[in-house]
């Protein structure tokens, strides 16, 4: 038996020494260029070209402009300062507090939500068409805005950790009162993270195991990417809440499309009923391909949380979007195909996804029995 344990507290590494000085020179150079102070910009350019090689960076290559070289250098430094480092090793049963707790909470919620995006759009409404992760982070043009966003989040989490205020009280202090907003929901996730970190069960699990008691199962995973806290459980390695994964769904689409095309080209019509044999171990091994195939036969697909990509439910694919490409390259519409599954599993989440897909396909309003064979077969049974 292996007991799950907390990872060491993670913190954004930041820069130090001459790396910090070099980044400051770059920021000042860009600022002076923007303000048309060419004399100062020239001096900062000289300082950058002198300091960068001493830190192991190459000077601009032949044919490379200084501006292009500087942009690459700035991106590299930005990646360095935004990398995560650990605060040493984890101590069994230790409950994080203070700065360690603040840094760990920031690491988890920024990895599992798109909170930086929502903060950016709140502070800078004029940047609502920008994505923090794709357009702002690592872009020297928006370095100042990126720093403001990160500082805002750290201050917010600090107020939440270091005071006795409730989340809603802290949120109100920052003018966040719309509980249905994505910003509120992403930030509110931090309260769950804090609670789970504090509910550390490691020593209790160890003593229970040594006493011959029952230790509840839990996931072996980095809390920044999966629901593995509170820690102190008998470890398991697969996170079924993320199955079918996006990759598994895309694989399932290819398999189902191929089966449908082969049948159609051989028989000149679509199959009205197909069957799947689903073993729980195989579903785990393939990240849920079999479940995804069941959904897609019916013309449904999983939905995922935008942050940690956990499966949140099932949605109906509009009938006019259900198409396949024949071997001659022609794209044709295909029906919702009835599917029978012989399934060996006790996983409630997978079963719920499949039953939801059946319900959606049976109650769809954009098709008829002519292109929804689940409805057709049900009608035949009723008659």
Tens digit of each residue's pLDDT (9 = 90 or more) over 241-272: 899 999 999 999 999 999 999 999 999 999 99
Instruction: Please report where in the chains the tokens 């993670």 appear, as a residue.
Output: 10
Question: How high is the pLDDT of residue 45?
Answer: 94
The whole-angstrom separation of Cα 136 and Cα 146 is 6
DSSP 104: H
Residue 225 in this model has a pLDDT that exceeds 80: no
The whole-angstrom separation of Cα 316 and Cα 322 is 10
Q: Is the dihedral of CA 55, 56, 60, 65 positive or negative?
A: negative
- Contact (CB, 8 A) for 181 and 118: yes
Using CB atoms within 10 A of its CB, is residue 298 exposed (0-12), middle (13-18) or buried (19+)? buried
The whole-angstrom separation of Cα 288 and Cα 353 is 11
Beta-bridge partner residues of 304: 311
For 33-78, how does the pLDDT look when each residue is reduced to its tens digit (9 = 90+)? 989 999 999 999 999 999 999 999 999 999 999 999 999 999 899 8
> What's the angle, vertex CA 75, arms to CA 65 and CA 156, rounded to 5?
150
């Amino acid at each position: 038996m292996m007991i799950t344990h907390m990872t060491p507290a993670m913190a954004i590494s930041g820069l130090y020494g001459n790396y910090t000085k070099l980044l400051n020179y770059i920021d000042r150079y860009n600022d002076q260029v923007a303000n048309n102070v060419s004399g100062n910009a020239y001096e900062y350019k000289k300082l950058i070209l002198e300091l960068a090689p001493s830190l192991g960076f190459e000077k601009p290559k032949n044919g490379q402009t200084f501006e292009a070289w500087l942009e690459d250098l700035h991106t590299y430094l930005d990646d360095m300062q935004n990398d995560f480092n650990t605060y040493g090793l984890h101590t069994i049963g230790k409950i994080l507090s203070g700065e360690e707790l603040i840094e760990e909470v920031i690491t988890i919620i920024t990895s599992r939500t798109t909170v930086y995006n929502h903060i950016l759009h709140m502070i800078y409404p004029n940047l609502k068409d920008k994505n923090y992760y794709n357009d702002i982070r690592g872009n020297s043009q928006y370095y100042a805005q990126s720093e403001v966003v990160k500082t805002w989040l750290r201050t917010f989490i600090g107020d939440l950790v270091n005071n006795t205020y409730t989340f809603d009280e802290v949120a109100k202090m920052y003018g966040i009162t719309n509980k249905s907003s994505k910003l509120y929901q992403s930030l509110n996730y931090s309260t769950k993270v804090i609670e789970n970190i504090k509910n550390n069960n490691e020593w209790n699990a160890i003593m229970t195991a040594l006493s011959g008691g029952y230790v509840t199962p839990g996931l072996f995973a980095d809390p920044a990417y999966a629901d593995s806290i509170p820690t102190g459980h008998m470890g398991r390695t697969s996170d079924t809440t993320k199955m079918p994964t996006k990759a598994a769904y895309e694989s399932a689409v290819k398999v189902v499309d191929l089966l449908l095309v082969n049948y159609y080209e051989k028989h000149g019509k679509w199959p009205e009923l197909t069957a799947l044999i689903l073993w729980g171990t195989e579903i785990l091994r393939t990240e849920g391909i079999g479940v995804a195939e069941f959904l897609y036969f019916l013309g449904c697909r999983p939905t995922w949380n935008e942050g940690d990509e956990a499966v949140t439910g099932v949605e109906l694919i509009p009938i006019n979007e259900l198409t396949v490409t024949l071997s001659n390259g022609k794209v044709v519409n295909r029906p919702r195909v009835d599917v029978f599954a012989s399934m060996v599993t006790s996983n409630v989440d997978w079963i719920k996804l499949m039953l939801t897909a059946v319900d959606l396909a049976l109650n769809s309003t954009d098709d008829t029995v002519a292109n929804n064979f689940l409805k057709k077969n049900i009608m035949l049974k009723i008659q």
